[in-house]
Amino acid sequence: MVMSLAQERKAKAVLEKITKVDDKTWLLPSKSDDSKMHTVQSIKNEYECDCLGFIHTLNCYHIIAVKMFETKNHKGYQEWRDTTMKRYEELAKANIKQKEIKGLSNDPAWTE
């Protein structure tokens, strides 16, 4: 899973609004519409979300927010972040998927 700084910012913006339903389910409001909720679920140690961003890319800021939420001391999160950011930079450098990453930032689903 890769992420961008923009996604990390959005994740931080919804971090305070996460509702933990049970050990494997979290509810988050949609950033564009507070009346809409997204559900993140932990399934076999992988996170899944019901938003369009996740459906299209298997990656969204809701999951990033849940990971931040779950790592209250931020130690594990920092480690995870370093790994994913490194991967993101490698992809960008290698120009692999760069077109795809650019395309995503213009996708309305991405900013939902």
> Footprint of Zn ion on this chain (CB under 5 A)?
38, 49, 51, 54, 60, 62
For the chain, the distance separating the N- and C-terminal CA atoms, rounded to the nearest angstrom, is 19
Residue placing its CB nearer to Zn ion in the complex, 50 or 90: 50
Question: In the bound complex, what is the minimum distance in angstroms from residue 53's beta carbon to Zn ion?
Answer: 5
Question: In the bound complex, what is the minimum distance in angstroms from residue 50's beta carbon to Zn ion?
Answer: 7
Residue placing its CB nearer to Zn ion in the complex, 18 or 60: 60
Largest interatomic CA distance in the chain = 40
Q: Is 57 left (phi over 0), alpha (psi -120 to 50) or beta?
A: alpha
Residue placing its CB nearer to Zn ion in the complex, 25 or 90: 25
Residue placing its CB nearer to Zn ion in the complex, 90 or 103: 103
Question: In the bound complex, what is the minimum distance in angstroms from residue 29's beta carbon to Zn ion?
Answer: 11
Question: In the bound complex, what is the minimum distance in angstroms from residue 85's beta carbon to Zn ion?
Answer: 19
State the Cα–Cα distance between residues 56 and 77, nearest whole angstrom: 24
Other beta carbons less than 10 A from residue 40's beta carbon: 25
**φ, ψ of residue 71 in degrees (nearest 5):** -105, 75
